[in-house]
Structure 1
Amino acid sequence: MTEWTIMGAGAVGCVLAGLLSRRGEPVSLLLSERHRGHLHPSLELITLSGQHELVHTRPLFAEQAAAVTTLLVTTKAYQVIGALSALRSLPAATPIILLHNGMGLLDEVLAHFPHNPVLAGVSSHGALKEGDWLVRHTGKGETWLGPANEAARACAGLVEPLARALGHAGWSEDILGLQHRKLAINAVINPLTASHDIRNGQLLEPRFAAVLEQLSEEVHRVMARLGQQESLARFRRRLRSVIELTATNYSSMHQDLHHGRRTEIDQITGYLLGRAGELPVPVCRQLYQDIRRRQGR
C-alpha cells in the first residue's frame, strides 16, 4: 500500500485527502513554509451527505521529500513549478501525478524530473474551502490519469485504489484530449463567473445568453485547432450540463478573485490565447485582460 502525499492543501487537495483516508489509504500533506511551526490539526471534511468527519494526515515538508512514494499535485497551476523544484530529494521512482487546473506546465515539469514517472490527470470533484482545515465536498465527479512520459505507463495500477476512494478513476492514453475537454469548460465558466461575480448557475440567465454563445464558439474554435473533434452543439450541451450540475457553486477563479488571490487565468484563458494563432477570439481576450486587471497583474 502506497502513501499518498498531497501537495496543495487547498479545497481539492483536502477533499482528496479526506476521501482517500476514509478508505483506509495512508495520506500525508506536503505543507508549505507558512505552515511550519504551527500545529497541524486534523482536517475536517464535510461529506456530500453533510456529515462532518475528522481526517488525520501526516504533515511533511519539502526537505522530507525522500519519504514521498506517490505525489499528487493539487496546487494552483502557477505554484506547481516552484513547489516541485523545492523537492530536491524526491526519489526518481516516485510517481508525480499532476491534478492542477489549467495547462501549459507539463514540459517544464518533465524537464525538472526527467526520470520520474509523470502522470497527467483531470478530476471533476467539487470542493469548497469553508475555513482553516475545513473543506466541503460539493460534488462527486470523475478522475482520469494518463501517461505524460514513458515511465508513467508502469503506474496504471494507481487508478485502482483511487477508484475505490473517489468512486471513479480511470486510465486514459488520451489524457491530453481529456485535459483539453476540461480546459474548454473552465475557459467559459471560470472567467465569466469571476468577471460578473456570480454563481455558475447564473450563467444560464437570459442576460448571459449572447456572451455565452460567442465565448463557447471561440473556445470551441481553438479546441478544434488543437485537434478536438467534438461538435460545437455537443460542446454546448456538455457545457450546459456542467453549469446545471454546479449551479450553486462558485468557480475557483471567482473565489480566488473574491478573496484577493492570484487566479489561474494565465493557465486557462491564457493557454487558449497562446494557441489561437490567427483565430479571432475577442471575448476570450477581453475576459483575460479584465481578470488580469482585477488581480493587479
Structure 2
Amino acid sequence: MREWTILGAGALGCTLAALLREQGEQVALLLSERHRGHLHPTFEFIALNERRRLVATRPRFAHQAADIQCLVVMTKAYQVLEALAGLAALPPQSPIVLLHNGLGVAEQVARRFPANPLLVGVTSHGAMKEGEWVVRHTGRGETWLGPANTAARAHAGLARPLARALGHAEWSEDIRRLQHRKLSINAVINPLTACHHIRNGQLHEPRFAEVLAQLSEEVHQVLARLGEEESLEQFRRRLNAVIELTATNYSSMHQDLAHGRKTEIEQITGYLLSHAGTLPMPVCRQLYNEVKRLGG
C-alpha cells in the first residue's frame, strides 16, 4: 500500500492526513527538526460533524527522504522551496503534489526536481488550528489535480484515493485554468479582508461596493490576458458566491497578518502584477503595497 507523506503539518495538511487515515491510507507527516523535542504521536481532529478523534501518523524527517513514496506539499507558497531543500535524496520516481495558494512556485520546483513527476492542484477545503496539534475541519469543497510535467500523467490515479477521503477529487489536464480561477478569487478576497480586518462576508457591505467592482475588473483583465475565457459578469457571479459561502470565515491572508506571519501576497497579487503588462492596476498595486507595509 502506498504511503502518503505530507509536508506541512498545518491545519489543511493535518486535515488531509486525518481524512486519508479514516479511509485506511498510510500517512506520514514530514516534520521539521524543531518538532523532535516535543513530538506528539497523535493530533486531535475535529470533523465537520463536531466528532473528535485522535489521529496517528508516522513521523518523518528530511534525512528519511529516500523512503518517501508520494510527497504532498501543503506549506505556504513561499515556504515550498526551502522546505524541499533538504530532500535531495527523494527518489526520482516519487511524485510530488503541490497544494498551495498562488502561482509561480511549480516552475521553480520543476527545475530543482526535474526527474520527479510533478502534480499541481487546488482545493477549497477549509481548516483551522484550535491549539497545538488540535485541528478543525471547517469546510468541504472541491479538489483538482493535474500535470505540471509529462511524467505526472502516469499518476492521474492519485485522484481516486483523494476522492474517497475528501468527498471530491478529480484529474484535469487543464489544471492551469483551475489554478487561475482560484487565484482570481484569492486576489480579491484575501488582500481586501486582510487590509480591512474583516470577515469575508463583510465585503458585501455597501462601503466595499466600489472597490470590489474596481478590483474584480483589474483581476479579470489580467486573467483574460493569460487566456482565460470567463466573462467579467461570470467572474463576479463566482466571486459573490464564494463570498456568501465563506461569509463567516477569515481569509488565510487575514489570519497570517493577524498573527504576525508572512503572507502569500507575492504568489497571489504579486503574480497578477507581474503578468499585467501595461494594464493599469491601481487597486491591486495599492493593496499589494499595504499588505507589505503591514508586514506581509
Q: TM-score, normalised by structure 2?
A: 0.98
Match of 2:260 in 1: 260
Letter in 2 for 1:20: L
Distance in 2 (CA, whole Å) between partners of 1:275 and 1:171 is: 26
Shift of 1:40: 2.1
Per-residue CA distance 1:78-109 (angstroms, 9 max, x = gap): 01011112102100010000001111111110
| Number of aligned residues | 296
Q: Deviations 1:12-68 (Å, cap 9, x if unpaired)?
A: 111111111111111110011221222224111111111111111111111111111
Alignment partner, residue 126 of structure 1: 126
Quote the residue 2:38 is aligned against.
38
For structure 2, the 5+ residue unaligned runs are: none
Query: In structure 2, the residue corresponding to 1:136 is in which secondary structure?
Result: strand
How do 1:146-165 and structure 2 match up within 5 A? 146-165=146-165
Counterparts of 1:219 and 1:135, CA distance in 2: 33
1:243 maps to 243
Which SS does the other structure have where 2:40 is aligned? coil
Q: Which secondary structure state, in structure 2, belongs to the residue aligned with residue 191 of structure 1?
A: helix
Structure 2: which amino acid aligns with 1:125? H
Cα distance in 2 for residues equivalent to 1:204 and 1:2: 45
Cα distance in structure 2, aligned partners of 1:116 and 1:85:
15
Q: 1: CA distance between counterparts of 2:187 and 2:227?
A: 17
Q: What is the DSSP-based 3-state SS (H/G/I as helix, E as strand, rest coil) of the residue aligned with 1:260?
A: coil
Please give the alpha-carbon distance, in whole angstroms, between the structure 1 residues aligned to 2:249 and 2:287.
20
Q: How do 1:43-82 residues align onto structure 2 when only pairs under 5 Å count?
A: 43-82=43-82
State the 1:192 CA deviation: 0.5
- Residue of structure 2 in register with 1:278 after alignment: 278
Preserved CA contact (<8 Å) 1:63 1:88: no
Partner of 1:36, secondary structure, is helix
**Residue 170 (structure 2) pairs with residue 170 (structure 1):** yes
Match of 1:8 in 2: 8
Structure 2 residue identity aligned to 1:6: I
Alignment deviations for residues 197-229 of structure 1 (CA, whole Å, 9 cap, x no partner): 111111111111111111001000000000000
Q: Is the 8 A contact 1:7 1:13 kept in 2?
A: yes
> What's the counterpart of residue 184 of structure 1?
184
Deviations 1:112-140 (A, max 9, x none): 10100000100010111111111111110
SS class of match (1:178): helix
Task: Tell me the distance in 1 between the aligned counterparts of 2:131 and 2:216.
Answer: 34
4+ residue segments displaced more than 2 Å: none
Q: 1:174 is matched by which residue type in structure 2?
A: D
Which position in structure 1 is the counterpart of 2:93? 93
Provide the residue aligned with 2:202 in structure 1: 202
Superposition pairs for residues 213-224 of structure 1, below 5 Å? 213-224=213-224
2:108 equivalent in structure 1 = 108
How many angstroms apart in 2 are the aligned matches of 1:177 and 1:129?
A: 30
User: Separation in 2 of the partners of 1:10 and 1:216?
Assistant: 30
Alpha-carbon distance in 1 for matches of 2:207, 2:107 = 40
Name the residue aligned to 2:225. 225
Q: Is the 8 A contact 1:15 1:135 kept in 2?
A: yes
Which runs of 5 or more structure 1 residues have no equivalent in the other structure?
A: none
3-state SS in 1 of match to 2:28: strand
Give the letter aligned to residue 53 of structure 2.
E
Q: Is residue 135 of structure 2 the alignment partner of residue 135 of structure 1?
A: yes
State how far apart, in whole Å, the 2-side matches of 1:130 and 1:279 are. Answer: 42
Any conservation in 2 of the 1:273–1:285 contact (CA below 8 Å)?
yes
* TM-score scaled by length of structure 1: 0.98
CA distance in 2 between partners of 1:93 and 1:37 (Å)? 32
8 Å CA contact 1:41, 1:133 repeated in 2: no
> For the residues of structure 2 that align with 1:250 and 1:136, how far apart are their CA atoms?
14
Please give the alpha-carbon distance, in whole angstroms, between the structure 2 residues aligned to 1:9 and 1:24.
19
Preserved CA contact (<8 Å) 1:40 1:59: no
Equivalent residue for 1:295?
A: 295
